[in-house]
Structure 1
Amino acid sequence: MRKITLLFTLITPLMWAQNYTEYATGSATDLNTNPQFGVCLMGGASENDNAMIWFLEQADGGDVVVLRASGSDGYNNYMYSELGVAINSVTTFVFNNEAGAIDPYVLQKVENAEAIWFAGGDQFNYVSFFKDNAMEDALNNFINVKGGVIGGTSAGMAILGSAYFSAENGTVTNQEALTNPYNNQMTLGYNDFLNIPYLENVITDTHYDDPDRRGRHSAFLARYATDTNSRAFGIACNEYTSVCIDAFGIARVYGDYPNYEEHAFFLQSNCTTDFMPETCVNGQPLTWNQGGEALKVAKIAGTQSGMNYIDLNSWSDEGGVIWQNWFAANGVFSATSATNPACSLLTPIDREMTEVYVGPNPFHDKIAIETDLARYDVRLYDIFGKQIASYENLSELDTPGLSSGLYVLHITSENEQRIFKLVKE
Structure 2
Amino acid sequence: MSTNSFSHLAGRICLGFGSVALALAATLSAEPAVAGPTFEVAKPVPLYSYYALGDVNAPVTAPASRPTPSFVLMGGGPDVDAAFRWLIQRAAITAGSGGRFVVIRATGDDAYNPYVFYSDDSLSTSKDVKELWVGGASSGLTSVETLVIPSVKAANSPAVNAIVAKANVVFIAGGDQSHYVRFWKGTALEQTLKGLMKKNVPIGGTSAGLAVLGQFDYSALYKSATSEKSMLDPYYKDITFDPSPLSLSGGFIAPPELESLILDSHFDSRDRMGRLVTFISRIVAPTATPSGSFGCSGGVLPASSSGNKTARGIGIGVETALLVQGNGVGNPVTATRVTNPSTTSESAVYFVRPSVPPSVCKPQQPLSVSTVEVRKLADPKTVFNLTDWTGVPTYKYVDVNAGQLIPADWY
TM bracket, shorter-chain basis: 0.7 to 0.9
* SS class of match (2:369): coil
Instruction: Quote the sequence identity (%).
Output: 30
Aligned to 1:308: 382
Shift of 1:317: 2.9
Aligned to 2:112: 75
Aligned to 1:359: none
1:7-406 paired onto structure 2 within 5 Å: 11-16=10-15, 17=17, 18-29=46-57, 31-34=60-63, 35-36=65-66, 37-61=69-93, 62-82=99-119, 83-84=134-135, 85-143=139-197, 145-190=198-243, 191=249, 192-210=251-269, 212-225=271-284, 226=296, 227-230=299-302, 231-248=310-327, 249-255=333-339, 260-270=345-355, 275-289=356-370, 293=371, 295-302=372-379, 306-318=380-392, 323-335=395-407
* SS class of match (1:99): helix
Cα deviation digits, residues 21-58 of structure 1 (max 9, x gap):
10011222262522542000111111111122112212
Assess if the C-alpha contact under 8 Å between 2:48 and 2:154 holds in 1: yes
Shift of 1:236: 1.5
Assess if the C-alpha contact under 8 Å between 1:256 and 1:262 holds in 2: no
Cα deviation digits, residues 325-356 of structure 1 (max 9, x gap):
12211111124999xxxxxxxxxxxxxxxxxx
Structure 1 gaps, min length 5 = 1-5, 339-425
CA spacing shift, 1:173–1:14, aligned 2, 3 Å: same
- Alignment RMSD (CA, Å): 2.3
Assess if the C-alpha contact under 8 Å between 1:38 and 1:246 holds in 2: yes
Structure with more contact order per residue of length (Cα contacts < 8 Å, sep ≥ 6): 2
* SS class of match (1:40): strand
Shift of 1:116: 0.6
TM-score calculated relative to the size of structure 1: 0.71
Structure 2 gaps, min length 5 = 1-5, 18-45, 94-98, 120-133, 244-248, 285-295, 303-309, 328-332
* Structure (1/2) with the larger strand percentage: 1
CA spacing shift, 1:41–1:107, aligned 2, 3 Å: same
CA spacing shift, 1:335–1:308, aligned 2, 3 Å: farther
In the alignment of these two chains, the number of paired residues is 318
Corresponding letter in the other structure for 1:334: I
Comparing 70-79 and 214-223, the one that deviates more: 70-79
Assess if the C-alpha contact under 8 Å between 1:324 and 1:335 holds in 2: no
CA distance in 2 between counterparts of 1:322 and 1:49 reads 29
Assess if the C-alpha contact under 8 Å between 2:317 and 2:347 holds in 1: yes
* SS class of match (1:181): coil
CA distance in 2 between counterparts of 1:28 and 1:240 reads 30
